Structure 1
């Protein structure tokens, strides 16, 4: 594919968390940052143009979304995911994580059981623990370099009084696109045991290799789906996301919780950026996915050749690669030390995603092929004496 709409941007000196703060945050020097989940790809030009047009208007007062934004979201869900929703089922929030926290407070009480599937995105843990709920884990199983669900354990824990299940679909950090069979089984079990589902589907638009994402709400309307253009179109700093609930009582309770928190809407730039992304971004996204797929192949071929005791959980979605270093037989602290001091590369430590992440790292490959190659060379340098 001719990726003519994709530009790799130099981000140093822009206040970028990823590039300008890695050395301090990782306590290193000259680190190559391949950690936090934003990309080095310039946004679709229509998004930038929409922002410029809005900035050229010299007043930045309170704003509300136009109907055209709702239409863009509705059309995107239909075209991309074959999912029919309407305006009343959409609520705009500042991010998936605030929405998870709001849902926990809206639908559970302190001490209630909230289930996750580890290893998983770190804020799942903090949202549960900081709100004084009881964390229940349904650990995923690694089989044939894929993450799979332990359904016996899943059902047993639902039976044991779980009130809320937080699903990560596609999975972060593992990159799994759950099959329709998996989504159906989880949806039906949660329906059987009257467990509300909060589904983090922020990576749903970034499916690789033709994998198809199934929103769990299509199979169980007793759910809240959390999506955003932030990962898809690299606009996370604009803090724009959406919650979708087909059940009006669930939507009413969720929006009521946001009002309790004093949240009344997005910033004035988030709305036009979101609308432009969902209206015009499909072609750009195809090219971005092509870049990511090529980078996945670089990672897998390099590691298979140069680091044979290391395993790659090949992602089916997103620009994040879950790398299994357990074959090196060293501790998490030694892994981190070698990456920072020897390899001079900043990767997300696996233990950040829970105990099941011990011995792993997560690499962000939403960047140029040259950066990926440099990162792989640094990864090799970190562990070459152990191979």
Structure 2
């Protein structure tokens, strides 16, 4: 494992959302932040070198995305996910969420129904509601410590006239990496009921236990032409502050319409540093990523093992992402008291489960993308607080 991952970087007073908002969010400065989805880990040296070289150039004029960058993305998807796309399918944007907003505007109309699978990443709710679309939910089924898709409910909702489906794969926050069988069943239902697929695959590179991420668009030409797939190096390589992502949009008419929508809102280019980082990450970042996956799987395992001895909390075994969904329902607390327990007694700052939907009541989300000693410190704080109850 890389020595880069052994020491906790100092992030206070760097305008870090994760670290410099602790008092604002949790009411005290001594709360250990383990919430928002970025890493307390240095980026890969090839990416850092590329950014330093770009900075030393000392000119930051208008910057384009070119065929070389398209080829880099194409090569990455083929190498890591066995998905052979066409370069002309790629659209770049500042982030997956802006892309999903643009997609909703171009594949649905006001009043249309859009489905999400809850509990799920909080911005999905706003993507639907802010454009006057009707929110429809297909709650995941929590069985024996894991989550499954309720396909009967999904088909029922599709029959009622859903126009678009925002898929999260790997799923945030429950950590499922949907199987090929699951994806094929969802794709078949989308085709049968004429539902357009918007697939958020930002965590695609962060997979454990020998699982494999399968882009849903890779299943067939039919579903690919009815899908917009959103990806980015930002979660994989800890680049969230550089605002760089891309979407795979095979349908030419939709692609052109989305590009027109981006221009309408003034989003016509990426920043120079984001382009440099994307290029370097996908060209020379794989060794760092392999080390990262070893660290994350180790951190996940020690977290699960620590709470196996504590009936009050169950750590859901994530198959992907670096975000662990904690089932705290056996603590017997109201959700408000659970939040107070974590931030005031354990002194650990986690994501509130209810922010992911009503199905998150009694749950919290923990970020484990930090040195193992830091993750262990957070675990110890929670266990010590449980011992005092």
User: TM-score of the superposition, structure 2-length normalised?
Assistant: 0.96
Of 344, 347, 371, the match for 1:344: 347
Partner residue, 2:10: 10
Q: What is the CA–CA distance in structure 2 between the aligned matches of 1:202 and 1:295, rounded to whole Å? A: 21
Q: What is the CA–CA distance in structure 1 between the aligned matches of 2:83 and 2:257, rounded to whole Å? A: 23
Of 231, 239, 250, the match for 1:227: 231
Q: What is the CA–CA distance in structure 1 between the aligned matches of 2:47 and 2:215, rounded to whole Å? A: 25
Partner residue, 1:103: 103
Partner residue, 2:278: 274
Shift of 1:69: 1.4
Q: What is the CA–CA distance in structure 1 between the aligned matches of 2:15 and 2:266, rounded to whole Å? A: 28
Shift of 1:385: 4.0
Partner residue, 2:357: 354
Gaps of 5+ in 1: none
Q: What is the CA–CA distance in structure 1 between the aligned matches of 2:319 and 2:195, rounded to whole Å? A: 27
Q: What is the CA–CA distance in structure 1 between the aligned matches of 2:367 and 2:50, rounded to whole Å? A: 28
Of 312, 316, 329, the match for 1:313: 316
Residues 122 and 357 of structure 2 are in contact (CA less than 8 Å); yes or no, is this contact kept in structure 1?
Answer: yes
Residues 95 and 242 of structure 1 are in contact (CA less than 8 Å); yes or no, is this contact kept in structure 2?
Answer: yes
Matched residue count: 384
For the aligned residues, what is the CA RMSD? 1.2
Shift of 1:26: 2.1
Is the deviation greater in 104-113 or in 156-165? 104-113
* Match runs of 1:230-245 below 5 Å: 230-245=234-249
Shift of 1:10: 2.3
Partner residue, 2:288: 284
Q: What is the CA–CA distance in structure 2 between the aligned matches of 1:100 and 1:37, rounded to whole Å? A: 18
Residues 5 and 284 of structure 1 are in contact (CA less than 8 Å); yes or no, is this contact kept in structure 2?
Answer: no
Is the deviation greater in 376-385 or in 180-189? 376-385
Q: Secondary structure at the match of 1:197?
A: strand
Gaps of 5+ in 2: none
Q: What is the CA–CA distance in structure 2 between the aligned matches of 1:365 and 1:375, rounded to whole Å? A: 10
Output one character per residue of 1:257-313: Cα deviation in whole Å (capped at 9) or x when no partner: 2122221011111111100001111111010000001101110111112x2231111
Output one character per residue of 1:9-47: Cα deviation in whole Å (capped at 9) or x when no partner: 222222211112112122233010000000011111111
Partner residue, 1:75: 75
Residues 6 and 372 of structure 2 are in contact (CA less than 8 Å); yes or no, is this contact kept in structure 1?
Answer: no
Q: What is the CA–CA distance in structure 2 between the aligned matches of 1:95 and 1:277, rounded to whole Å? A: 16
Q: Secondary structure at the match of 1:15?
A: coil
* Match runs of 1:87-126 below 5 Å: 87-126=87-126
Output one character per residue of 1:132-153: Cα deviation in whole Å (capped at 9) or x when no partner: 1110000000112111000000
Residues 119 and 139 of structure 2 are in contact (CA less than 8 Å); yes or no, is this contact kept in structure 1?
Answer: yes
Q: What is the CA–CA distance in structure 2 between the aligned matches of 1:348 and 1:142, rounded to whole Å? A: 19
Shift of 1:163: 0.6
CA spacing shift, 1:154–1:141, aligned 2, 3 Å = same
* Match runs of 1:258-269 below 5 Å: 258-269=262-273
Residues 162 and 195 of structure 1 are in contact (CA less than 8 Å); yes or no, is this contact kept in structure 2?
Answer: yes
Q: Secondary structure at the match of 1:56?
A: helix
Q: What is the CA–CA distance in structure 1 between the aligned matches of 2:31 and 2:108, rounded to whole Å? A: 42
Q: What is the CA–CA distance in structure 1 between the aligned matches of 2:22 and 2:86, rounded to whole Å? A: 41
